[in-house]
Amino acid sequence: MPVAILTAWVLARCRFPGRSVLNALAHLPLVLPPVVTGWLLLVLFGVRGPFGALLNDWFGIRLVFTTAGATLACAVMVFPVMVRAVRLSLEAADPGLEQAARTLGAGRLDRLINITLPLASPGILVGAIVAYATCLGEFGAVITFAASIPGQTQTLPLAIYAALQVPGGEAKAAQLSAVSFTLALIGLLASEWAGRRLHAALGR
Amino acid sequence: MSLSVELRHHFPAIDIAIAFSAPSPGVTVLFGPSGSGKSTVIAAAAGLLRADSCRIVIDGAVLADTRSGIWLPPERRRVGLVFQDSRLFPHMSVRNNLVFGMRRTAERHIDFDEVVELLGIRALLARRPHTLSGGERQRVSIGRALLRQPQVLLMDEPLASLDAARKAEILPYLARLKTILRLPVLYVTHSLDELVQLADSVVLIEAGAVVAAGPVAAISARADLPLAQRDDAGAMLICRVAAHDAARQLTRLSCGAATLWVPQADLPEGNDVRVRIPAREVILARGDVASLGDALSLHNVLPGTVRAIAADPGHRAALVEVALGEGAVLSRVTPDAIARLALAAGTPVLALIKSMSVEVLGGA
């Protein structure tokens, strides 16, 4: 999340060569087939991959086929959603207020923490909730990178898919779908409610 | 002690070259039409606009000098800036808005409680900005700028977005502030009302350049400036309340050598007061008016000398600047009157001013 906020801030406020490249990179997981994202992760973070090997050697962390790996895959997949939401709300935040804060003696970091982020908090929160809900439904990247190990890296859709492959698994699939439906609805309602609360607190 | 500004900046639509110095303490009003470059001066003084070339010095401290490469960023200048659209932080209470700048400086020459009292905002401290009226919001914004403990207070059309009633509500607070503050104030406006109520000195700006600058009394009495061409043109005088005559319900003001009688004003004797005399209300006479004496309702017959005459084609009139010892008044008369009285620079004249025409504006 902090990475997403930072990226969003850079994209919203800074003008530099390569900005559109960064923008494209941030949005890549949204457009790439999830299986390709999963495969890329496998290449980079696999036990023999450049980052995976480092993590394994230095910290003894193995990402492939583990819960942490599933989390990473999810995080990468929802990154663009998060960046978009945060960036939109950062762009909507009045730069005049930052100017005012400047004349009142607030430096760059001070302004980011005390003015910009609080003003963008509705977007950040909504982004986080939508990201969470999307995560629950992640399929392609997770199955490619972290496989589908029940109790460890099996996400809801993976479990539903698995249930459907087993004869007589329709009942289980229906139950899991109901769970999935409920979680998604709760996520969306929660983001709506939280967004409205924050907007009220900001006086809009 | 003073504030000096030298500024050059190129915009696609206008080239700005402005230089002036302002007294400290005191209110210097930057006056001129929209888009003439007034706000550019404020933005450069605050550090929000990096001008092509500029030098800004306050009481000996250099905030910016492009020639020697000095440019303090806004957060390192001690300036209090009041925006037209108050720009209070919506996610903070009024109190936290007020102390935002104060918390970021160690300086303490302006006291929190004093500012809160002066602006009458104690009852608002716990409220959120969006629950305030426009006038209240602007008062809080002025308080926030002051509590930054600034070396200079910059006000960029602080009343422009308010309706007449709200303006009237805030002006007295500003007038009170200026008598107490010990710092230079740059005040941008295109409202003559604010100029006559607040200005100690004036910088007239048009099309990116300074047209005239000086004490408000001197500038307002100049016949040759665009200010004099306005419908509501009029000279200002700084007078002292000499005495009240309760029996006649009059107050005597002394303005240098001249004496003005006005309807009894609720002001302590000995205080300085600013008055304004609309140009169209001033009658000029040559000869022996005093002989009419009690046959005339008029109280104020001031001897003076014509200093300058300027055409006023917009009103099919002429403007006559009459020097009265220290101050001067402006009179708008017909060209025919100029011819009949044979007025020219140097002619001695009498300026006849009805007591009822003198606008007493309050403390100087």
Question: What is the 3 state secondary structure string of chain B?
Answer: CEEEEEEEEECCCCEEEEEEEEECCEEEEEECCCCCCHHHHHHHHHCCCCCCEEEEEECCEEEEEHHHCEECCHHHCCEEEECCCCCCCCCCCHHHHHHHHHCCCCCCCCCHHHHHHHHCCHHHCCCCHHHCCHHHHHHHHHHHHHHCCCCEEEEECCCCCCCHHHHHHHHHHHHHHHHHCCCEEEEEECCHHHHHHHCCEEEEEECCEEEEEEEHHHHHCCCCCHHHHCCCCEEEEEEEEEEEECCCCEEEEEECCEEEEEECCCCCCCCEEEEEEEHHHCEEECCCCHHHHHHCCCCEEEEEEEEEEEEEHHHCEEEEEEEECCEEEEEEECHHHHHHHCCCCCCEEEEEECHHHCEEEEEC
Bridge partners (DSSP) of residue B262 are: B251
Query: Which CATH number does the domain housing residue B203 bear?
Result: 3.40.50.300
Low-confidence ranges of chain B (pLDDT < 70): 1, 290, 293, 364
Tens of pLDDT, residues B170-196: 888 888 888 788 889 999 998 888 998
Whether B135 is in a domain gets the answer: yes
The answer to whether the Cβ–Cβ distance between A100 and B87 falls below 8 Å is yes
Question: Do B263 and B189 reside in the same domain of the chain?
Answer: no
For residue A121, what is the nearest residue in chain B, using CA coordinates? B91
Question: Do B216 and B257 reside in the same domain of the chain?
Answer: no
CA-to-CA distance for A78 and B13, rounded, in angstroms? 46
The answer to whether the Cβ–Cβ distance between A106 and B90 falls below 8 Å is no
The answer to whether the Cβ–Cβ distance between A106 and B148 falls below 8 Å is no
Query: How many beta-carbon pairs under 8 angstroms link A with B?
Result: 67
The confidence score (pLDDT) of residue B160 equals 87
CA-to-CA distance for A78 and A64, rounded, in angstroms? 19
Domain containing B266 equals: 234-363
The answer to whether the Cβ–Cβ distance between B129 and A101 falls below 8 Å is no
Contacting A residues, span 95-134, partner chain B, CB-CB under 8 Å? 96-97, 99-107, 110, 115, 118-119
Nearest alpha carbon to residue B309 among B288, B274, B281, B284: B284
Mean predicted lDDT score pLDDT of chain A: 77
Judged by a CB distance cut-off of 8 A, whether residue B304 touches chain A is: no
Question: Do B172 and B77 reside in the same domain of the chain?
Answer: yes
Mean pLDDT of all residues in A113-132: 82
Question: Do B185 and B297 reside in the same domain of the chain?
Answer: no
Q: Is 80 exceeded by the pLDDT of residue A145?
A: no
Query: Which CATH number does the domain housing residue B276 bear?
Result: 2.40.50.100
The confidence score (pLDDT) of residue A159 equals 78
CA-to-CA distance for A111 and A107, rounded, in angstroms? 6
Bridge partners (DSSP) of residue B58 are: B3, B61
Tens of pLDDT, residues A73-114: 777 777 888 888 788 888 777 889 999 999 999 988 899 889
Judged by a CB distance cut-off of 8 A, whether residue B108 touches chain A is: no
Question: Do B213 and B133 reside in the same domain of the chain?
Answer: yes
CB contacts, 8 Å: B46 with chain A = 103
Judged by a CB distance cut-off of 8 A, whether residue A92 touches chain B is: no
Tens of pLDDT, residues B10-25: 999 999 999 999 988 8
CA-to-CA distance for B136 and B169, rounded, in angstroms? 9
The answer to whether the Cβ–Cβ distance between A101 and B128 falls below 8 Å is no
Strands B26-31 and B184-189: parallel
Question: Do B52 and B193 reside in the same domain of the chain?
Answer: yes
CB contacts, 8 Å: B50 with chain A = none
Question: Do B109 and B182 reside in the same domain of the chain?
Answer: yes
Copy the structure tokens of residue A40: 């890329």
The answer to whether the Cβ–Cβ distance between B74 and A103 falls below 8 Å is yes
Give A131→chain B minimum CA distance, Å: 25
Whether B226 is in a domain gets the answer: no
Nearest to A203 among B75, B130, B148 (CB): B130
Question: Do B238 and B212 reside in the same domain of the chain?
Answer: no
Whether B262 is in a domain gets the answer: yes
Whether B54 is in a domain gets the answer: yes
The confidence score (pLDDT) of residue A191 equals 78
CB contacts, 8 Å: A107 with chain B = 75
The confidence score (pLDDT) of residue B248 equals 92
Mean pLDDT of all residues in A143-158: 71
Nearest to A118 among B79, B91, B105 (CB): B91
Judged by a CB distance cut-off of 8 A, whether residue B354 touches chain A is: no
Domain boundary among B220, B250, B275: B220
Domain boundary among B220, B242, B274: B220
Judged by a CB distance cut-off of 8 A, whether residue B128 touches chain A is: yes
Question: Do B212 and B78 reside in the same domain of the chain?
Answer: yes
**Number of domains present in the structure of chain B:** 2
Whether B227 is in a domain gets the answer: no
Mapped onto helix, strand or coil, the DSSP state of residue A62 is coil
The confidence score (pLDDT) of residue A37 equals 78
Q: Is 60 exceeded by the pLDDT of residue A173?
A: yes
Question: Do B14 and B93 reside in the same domain of the chain?
Answer: yes
CB contacts, 8 Å: B104 with chain A = 104-106, 110
Question: Do B71 and B132 reside in the same domain of the chain?
Answer: yes
Radius of gyration of chain A (CA): 20
Domain boundary among B198, B220, B242: B220
| Domains of chain A: residue spans and CATH | 2-201 (1.10.3720.10)
Cα dist from A139 to A38, A65, A74, A151, whole Å: 10, 14, 9, 15
Contacting B residues, span 59-78, partner chain A, CB-CB under 8 Å? 73-78
Whether B140 is in a domain gets the answer: yes
Report ipTM for this prediction.
Answer: 0.81
**pLDDT-derived band at A204, boundaries 50, 70, 90:** low
**Number of neighbours of residue B167 by Cβ within 10 angstroms:** 21
Nearest to B75 among A97, A107, A115 (CB): A107
What are the φ/ψ torsions at residue B192 (nearest 5 degrees)?
-65, -35
* Long-range contacts of the stretch B106-112 (C-beta < 8 A, 24+): B107/B78, B107/B149, B108/B149, B109/B149, B109/B182, B110/B146, B110/B147, B110/B149, B112/B147
Tens of pLDDT, residues A17-33: 777 777 777 777 777 77
The answer to whether the Cβ–Cβ distance between B74 and A100 falls below 8 Å is no
Question: Do B311 and B253 reside in the same domain of the chain?
Answer: yes
